[in-house]
Amino acid sequence: MSLNAFPKRIRPRVRVNEPLGRRTTLRVGGPAEYFVEAMSLRDVADTVQASRELGLPLHVIGGGSNLLVADAGVQGVVLSLHGMKKINVFGSKVHVQAGANLSTLVNRCSSEGVAGPQSLAGIPGSVGGALAMNAGGRYGEIADYVERVIWINPKGELESRYREELEFGYRSSELRKGVVIEAVLQGSIGDRGELIAQGREILQQKLAAQPYSEFSAGCTFKNPKGQSAGRMIDMAGCKGLRVGGAMVSNRHGNFVINTGDARAHDVLELMSQVATRVFEVHGVELQPEVQLWPCRSLLAA
């Protein structure tokens, strides 16, 4: 299919064979067949409609911080909302566009005296991605602060939904099935100085426990109920295990790091070896937290 198949209005925004690795924090993976950087709701709507009409699969890329793209890349359209990142604060309510950086949001909340989202300090990624996977950590998850989300639903309609109407789970939400455009978050009024200090403290804890300065996709596997995947991987003796340029971090067992020249194939093979060892030692099947593009089963890796 040629670029000319795309409607004229959106064509200038479409790039062909756009490398995706550099748009992910793991820095691996091949190109997107078509890549669109949306600057407005109109661009997003046009891209969704064009993908449907052309029968192309549509993928949304956020901050690329929880993403493993296959070496062969992905077919279809990859949509980025990186150009839509406005944040407006009204008292304890925050209107934020999907492309905003989550840490920019946290800092802005602190400096404007909005309490709550500090619990998300140190989590990388975009607000849209954080909502789609209900990002969180020890101190809470983004769903805790959602009043409503405006998204393009799986039927292709622009819709506003209140938190009660959205299914948020552990690192999951139904927003993944559509395109998040914007959210209204509800915090409470707090003291600016205290909030800034609180955000810094949570960030420091993460810096101490996680390989922050390395290329990684954050936690690789979900925590099995009541257990820590990182600890299980550590106890199974997997720290330092390597396949090609991919290595299990010596600092935190649930992080796979790219030591420089890793390929997606190395990362998948390493994940598979780790899952096998953990199963042998603990009898538990780890499930990936990192998104695999295109979707594939670890067992087939």
Shortest Cβ 189–ligand EPU spacing (Å): 25
Structure tokens at 184: 């209204």
Strands annotated E in 142-278: 146-152, 158-162, 168-169, 172-173, 179-186, 188-189, 215-219, 242-243, 246-248, 255-258
Judged by CB under 6 A, which of 54, 209, 241, 301 binds ligand EPU?
209
Cβ-based neighbour number of residue 19 at 10 Å? 14
Residue with tokens 């709550």: 116
Q: Does 277 bind ligand EPU (CB under 6 A)?
A: no
Residues in region 243-262 near ligand EPU by CB under 6 A? 252-254
Which CB atom, from 199 or from 230, has the smaller least distance to ligand EPU?
A: 230
Structure tokens at 77: 């359209």
Whether residue 217 contacts residue 171, with contact meaning beta carbons closer than 8 Å, is answered with: no
Q: Helix 102-111 crosses helix 192-209 at what angle (to 10 degrees)? A: 150
Q: Provide the mask over 89-128, with x wherever binding to ligand EPU is found by CB under 6 A and - wherever it is not.
A: ----------------------------------------
Considering the complex, state which of residue 148 and residue 222 has its C-beta at the smaller distance from ligand EPU. Answer: 222
**Cis peptide leading into 124, omega within 30 of 0?**
no
List 51, 223, 258, 291, residue binding ligand EPU (CB under 6 A): 223
Place of tokens 């949304």: 60
Residue 33 in the binding site for ligand EPU (CB under 6 A)? no
Selected from 36, 50, 69, 229, the binder of ligand EPU by CB under 6 A is 229
46: contact with ligand EPU by CB under 6 A: no
- DSSP annotation of 34: E
* 231 is a contact residue toward ligand EPU (CB under 6 A): yes
Q: Is 222 in the site for ligand EPU (CB under 6 A)?
A: yes
Q: Are 146 and 131 in contact (CB under 8 A)?
A: yes
Task: Give the residues lining the site for ligand EPU (CB under 6 A).
Answer: 137-138, 206, 209, 218-219, 222-223, 228-231, 234, 252-254, 289
